[in-house]
Structure 1
Amino acid sequence: MARASDAAYDAIKSWIQSAQVPPGGLIDEVDAAKRLSMSRTPVREALLRLQSEGFVEIARGRGIRVLPLSAGDMRDIYQVISGMEVVAVSLLARSRPSRQALASLLDATSDMEQALEAGEIDRWGEADERFHRELMRLSGNRKLYAVGCQLRDFAQRAHMVALRLQSDAYRARSTANHTALVDIILAGDSRAAAARHFDQRQRGEEALIGIVEKFNLANL
């Protein structure tokens, strides 16, 4: 039963993150169970878990609603993630990794460059997401990685909406900054790497949250 519950959790969270169920939309437990070809019990367990993580609200008589994120929510989450990533970057640079050890970061930046050239915005966003998760994983701090990924999961839908609203010039600058960060990490300069990433995260926060506020997107 635990495995079925985990599968239901992963599937329903994917529906939320990809906006198959939009912010404020309702999830029907019976329909979800039919769609997943499983009983209602693991689906109910998955929904309770998603409620505890802030993805949905289960209200008696009002159904199961996907909770939206406001621009303020996004800013709060973004700032926490930024703090964790700056620590991750410092730890990673301090370990003086080889180029081979950073292969996953290099692959992500390569995919970002290719997606940029092809004008594939969602593919660029997926590569960007992979880069940031790998930064935390490669830090060697398992708790930082686990909590950081949970926060990124929570904000992923809203983050992708904000990325789609950005210009190609923004994505080009961001790609170049990611590549430059890898070079600084390879040089083993933990202070410079942390400072560079902190500045980049601040600029990204203002660009992404700013565009959400500009378009007056109240709920994401």
Structure 2
Amino acid sequence: MPRPRSSPPNDRPRTRLSAADRRASIIDAATQVFAESGYQRATMGQIAARLGVTEPVLFQNFGSKNALYAAVVAHASGHMAAMMRAFAEHTDSIGEVLTQLLNPEHIDELHSPGSLGVIFADAMTLTAEPAIEAAVRQHVGELASVLGEVIERGQRGGELRADLDPEAGAWMVLSFLSAHRFRAAVMPGRRHLEEHLAAMTLRMLLAVGESPE
């Protein structure tokens, strides 16, 4: 994710942002910092410095670090949902979409520092914070709904099992993605086993005769 351009010199006139644009710019900068450093290590000072403003500006707009993180979860979820819809709309194979989602290399990339998967992995551990828990429930649920729509499209095209419940299938895929940190921490021979787990998951989704390859 590219960083914002450096702030213009002081002798140039600055364009005053609207309230909505200011909030959006803060969320963009916070998304970058939280994805790079994680929730616990990231500070409001780092986010302010990335944006070129003072910390009080962040608190004036969001009130707390928790509230800002909740807004980042909403932003990241919307971005990922849009990407998933676009990917599904521009491919002839929903099976290929699911194969790419479950590919171990893709999952590693999704959870690498600076990627949006870091936002969601952290969010799952912060459910003691009411604002973050509410954001996770709402927006990950919305992401599951989009994935359910993708699965239904695959069923209509005959690629996915007709007896599959789209909502359950969506949550199965999201559960596989979100368990990356657990597998990375404790699974011996993770890459080998992860490949088998991905293939097993695909076989549960694909219609008879379809190949995960």
TM-score, length-normalised on structure 2? 0.38
Greater relative contact order (Cα < 8 A, sep 6+): 1
Richer in helix (by share): 1
Richer in strand (by share): 1
In our comparison, the structure showing a higher alpha carbon Rg is 2
TM-score, length-normalised on structure 1? 0.37
